[in-house]
Amino acid sequence: MNKPQVTIYDTTLRDGTQGTGISFSVLDKIRVAERLDAFGVHYIEGGWPGSNPKDAEFFQQAAKRIWKHAKIAAFGSTRRGNLAVEEDAQVRALLDSQAPVITLVGKSSLLHVREILNVTPEENRAMIRETVAYLKAQGREVILDAEHFFDGYKEDREHALGALTAAVEGGVDLVALCDTNGGTMPDEVEAITRDVICNVGVPVGIHSHNDCGLGVANALAAVRAGAVQVQGTLNGYGERVGNCNLTTVMPNLQLKMGIPVVPDLTRLRELSLFIDELSNCQRDIRAPYVGSTAFAHKGGIHVNAVQKLARSYEHIEPELVGNTQHILVSELSGQSNILLKAASLGIELKKGSPQVMEILQEIKRHEALGYEYEAADGSLDLLIRKALRLHEPLFELLEYHCTFRRSGSGSLNTCEATVKICIRGERVYTVDEGDGPVNALDAALRKALRPYYPQIDEIALEDYKVRILDGKEGTAARTRVLIAFTDGQNDWETVGVSGNIIEASWLALVDALEYKLISLK
C-alpha cells in the first residue's frame, strides 16, 4: 500500500482497558500489540508509562521487539502547572519508555483549565507548547490529544483553537480532536473539524467516544471534513460505554468510503474474536461486519432472495471481512432455509421434496417443545441428518447417575457421575467427578469416549446458558440448555430441552460431542 490517506491509531491497550471488566497482563498486551502490528495498524498506544509498573514493563518489552508496520506510542500528560518540563517526572517517564511516538493529553476546554487544572489559560498554553517542544527536541514524534476539544470549542472557540496553536508552536506532528464526553453530534464534529483544519497548519485526527452511540459516525464525519487519523479501540472497548469501534470504522473507511487503511480486512473477524477471547468478554453477536449474525438470514422470503442473489440482502460480501453468510433455521423458516442449510452440509435436496417437508415439520415440532435452533447449529446439523436417515449414533446410552458428596461441614461440594454406554459393541462404564452434575457428566462421558476418539480432548466448553420455559409451571417447568463449544478454530452450539435440567444438559452435551466427532470422519 502507498502512504495511507488516513492512519489508524489503536488505543485498546490504554483507553480500552479503562472499560469495566477489561484488564490485560503484560504478556496479554504484547500479544495484542503483535496482532495489531500484523494486521497493519499504524499506531499502537501501549499505555501510560508514568502511571503504573505494568505499563512501564510493556514498553521495556516493546523496545526489544521489531515492529513491522506499527509505531508504538506512549501516552502521558503535558508538564504540570508552574513546573519546568525538565523537572517533571511523568515527562521523564515518557522519554524513558523509548517509544518513538509520544501522545500528550492537553486541556483545550477553558472550564477544565480553570476548574480542574486551576491554572491560567496562558499557563495552560505554555504547558502544551513547552512539553511538545521538549519531546520534539529529543527526536520523538508528538501527537496532541486535545481533551474535551469539542465541548471546549463550543464554550470558547478562541481558547480551544489557542490550545492547538500552542502545540503547533511547539512543533507538534498531529493534533487529535477529542470528543471526550461523547456528546457531540456528527454535523457538529464535521463543521468544527473543518474549521480547525482551516486554522491550524498541521494534520488533524479524531478521538471519539460512544456515549451517544455515535463514536464511529463522528469519526467518519471528521474524516469527511479532512481528518487524517482515526483513534479508537478494537470492539469499541473503553470507559463508560466505550470508544470509537475500530472494528467497525476500518471497513467503513475502506469498503464504503474508498479510503484504504489496512492491507487485508479478511482477518478482521479473527482479530475481533481474539481480543474478546483474551479479555474474557462475551462476544457481541450483532456487531457490524464481524458479529455472528451480521450476515444471518432467517425469514423465508429473505433467504429465498439471498439464494438467488446474495447482495439483495447483504451490503458487502461477508468474506471481505472474514465473516460468512449464516442461514438461520427456525419455526419461521421456509424451504429455502432448509435447502441452503443442507447444501452447507454437502447434502443436495430438491424444493418441495418429502425430505425437505419432513425436516421443516421436525424443526417446528421441536421448537414448539422449546428448542431453538437458530443459535444451535450443531444440534440442527444432527437433526437434519437424523431426518434424512444419515445419522449413526457414536454410542448408545444405557444409563447415567449423578450423586453429591458432603464435606465435613455438611455442604455439597463434589459431584460424582457414572456413565454406562455401549460403543462399537462394547459396554463401557466410567466414573468421574466435577464441580457440578454437568461438569461431572462431561468428564465421565469423555473418559468413556477417549480410547475410541482421542480427538475429544480438542473440544472445550466455552459457554453454558440455561433458560426456564413456561415459568408459571414453577419447578415443573421445562428447561432449555444452550452450550457453546470450540476446538480452537471452530465454534458450535447445541441445545437440549427437558423438564429435568440435568437431562437437558446431557442432550446438549451429547449433541456437541457427536457433532464434532462426526465431522472428523
Average the pLDDT over 371-377 and give the result: 76
- Residue 471: predicted pLDDT: 56
- Taking every pair of C-alpha atoms in the chain, what is the biggest distance, in angstroms? 87
Average the pLDDT over 172-191 and give the result: 97
Residues 274, 207, 262, 174: what is their CA dihedral angle, to the nearest 10 degrees? -140
Amino acid at residue number 166: A
- What is d(CA 222, CA 105) in angstroms, rounded to the nearest whole number? 19
Q: What is the pLDDT of residues 109-141, one digit of tens each?
A: 999 999 988 899 999 999 999 999 999 999 999
| CB 205 within 8 Å of CB 225 | no
Cell matching residue 132: 511538545
- Residue 93: predicted pLDDT: 94
- Which candidate, 439, 465, 455, places its Cα nearest to that of 514? 455
- Residue 182: predicted pLDDT: 95
- Cell 481474539: give the residue: 274
What global pTM score does this model have?
0.72
The chain-wide mean pLDDT, for the chain, equals 88
pLDDT interval class at 406 (50, 70, 90)? low
Residues 6+ positions from 145 with CB-CB distance below 8 Å:
75, 103, 104, 105, 106, 176, 178, 207, 231
CA 503 to chain centre: 33
Average the pLDDT over 161-173 and give the result: 97
- Residue 186: predicted pLDDT: 97
Contacts 24+ apart (CB under 8 A), 413-418: 415/439, 415/440, 416/440, 417/441, 417/443, 417/444, 418/444
Q: Supply φ then ψ for residue 418, to 5 degrees.
A: -115, 140
What residue spans of 200-293 are helical by DSSP H? 215-225, 246-251, 268-279
Q: What is the pLDDT of residues 314-354, one digit of tens each?
A: 788 889 999 877 666 655 556 767 777 777 777 888 888 88
Amino acid at residue number 474: G
Q: What is the pLDDT of residues 148-157, one digit of tens each?
A: 999 999 999 9
Average the pLDDT over 267-291 and give the result: 87
